[in-house]
A and B are shown apart, each in its own frame.
Chain A
Amino acid sequence: MRSIIQENDIPIPEGVTVDVKARLVRVKGPRGQLVKDFKHVNMEILRLSKSKLKIKVWHGGRKHNACIRTISSHIENMITGVTKGFEYKMRFVYAHFPINVNIISDGAEVEIRNFLGEKQIRRIKMLNGVKIDHSTAQKDEIILTGNDIDNVSQSAASIQQSTTVRNKDIRKFLDGIYVSEKGLLVKD
């Protein structure tokens, strides 16, 4: 049965400006700007004040109301991305063949060599706004950083999925590059 109205408030912290027009949300903060288009969902997204954003669904069924929280989460992720940034750490796991990772074009592209001794070179381009670096504190680790959580996590997933083992028992051949930590760049 439909509810009359369901709404959700999103607090906007200091230093972040959110601009909403026709479900196109623009979030500006110290680390940059993010834009997301929510025209695929029918919702009222209103900026009530400098520090509050309200999302309303009138007359919604179950699935429509569920979208309120997903859109709120998207916007909250944009806000943390623009203030704190996202950092995904990935570890190399290998039994015999050391995985050789080169970072080219200033942290925008990754080359993976010698995965399981294979001659094929895996090249993965990072998505917009994502930078990748070798970890200085830890051996066999790379760190992806960026403002947009969707881009950072998708780039990490592309790397992880590029190092999949074929025609072998994957319980035994555990080689690969796996996401070990999902966190924020600015820790406090």
Chain B
Amino acid sequence: MVFSRFVEVGRVVLITYGPDAGKLAVVVDIIDHSRVIVDGPTTGVARQAISFKRATLTDLTISIPRTIGTPALKAQIEKQDLLGRWSKTAWAQKIAKREARAKLTDLDRFKLMVARKQRRAIVGKALGKIRKSK
């Protein structure tokens, strides 16, 4: 297998375990083979050392110098539109869908059921027309 997500200064990671689980952060410095210093001023992650067991690498990187300070990092994140790029990825959209579905109330689920029925009716009618014409 060929590797494409490298641990480097500027690699964006998604924290998967711990108090900051689910948040994005940027690798600011590398400690050793298993730990990095990570910072996420725009997503609420304090500057800290984190193990790779608690995070996954994403495909995104931003271009920053090593050990950049937190306010300068925040400026670079906003300038390079990291959160915008993240929200466009399929990964982020799947997470958003999952969260939206989990927040549904009973009424929401009812509305969803009705909407799916209506869509099924429209699709079924069009399908029936095509079958008849064949």
Interface majority SS (helix, strand, loop, mixed), chain A: strand
Map CB proximity to B onto A121-141 as digits: 1 under 8 Å, 0 otherwise: 000000000000000000000
CB <8 Å contact, B33 and A44: no
Which residues of chain B are within 8 angstroms of A96 by Cβ–Cβ distance? Answer: none
Kindly state whether residue A46 has any CB partner on chain B within 8 Å: yes
In the bound complex, what is the Cα–Cα distance between A46 and B4 (angstroms)? 12
Interface size on B, residues (CB 8 A): 4
B1 within 8 A of A: yes
Q: Write the nearest CB–CB distance from B61 to chain A, whole angstroms.
A: 18
Q: Is A22 an interface residue (CB 8 A)?
A: yes
Q: Is B3 an interface residue (CB 8 A)?
A: yes
- Which B residue's beta carbon lies closest to that of A3? B33
A46 touches B2 (CB 8 A): yes
Query: Which single residue of chain B is at the shortest CB-CB distance from A44?
Result: B2
Interface flags for B1-13 (1: CB within 8 Å of A; 0: not) read 1110000000000
Q: Is A171 an interface residue when CB atoms closer than 8 A count as contact?
A: no
B1 touches A22 (CB 8 A): yes
Taken together as a complex, chains A and B put the C-alpha atoms of A4 and B7 apart, in Å, by 11
How far is A58 from B7 in the complex, measured between Cα atoms in Å? 11
Contact between chains at A59 and B2 (CB < 8 Å): no
Q: Residues of A contacting B33 with CB < 8 Å?
A: 2, 4, 59
Q: Give Cα distance in the complex from A64 to B49, angstroms.
A: 28
A4 CB contacts on chain B under 8 angstroms: 33
A44 neighbours in B (Cβ, 8 Å): 1-3
Report how far A44 CA is from B1 CA in the complex, Å: 6
Shortest CB distance A52–B (Å): 15
Q: Can you spell out 9 A-B residue pairs with CB atoms less than 8 angstroms apart?
A: A2-B33, A4-B33, A22-B1, A44-B1, A44-B2, A44-B3, A46-B2, A58-B3, A59-B33
Chain B residues packing against A (C-beta within 8 Å): 1-3, 33
For the A-B complex with A22-B1, A44-B2 known, give 7 more contacts whose Cβ atoms are closer than 8 Å: A2-B33, A4-B33, A44-B1, A44-B3, A46-B2, A58-B3, A59-B33
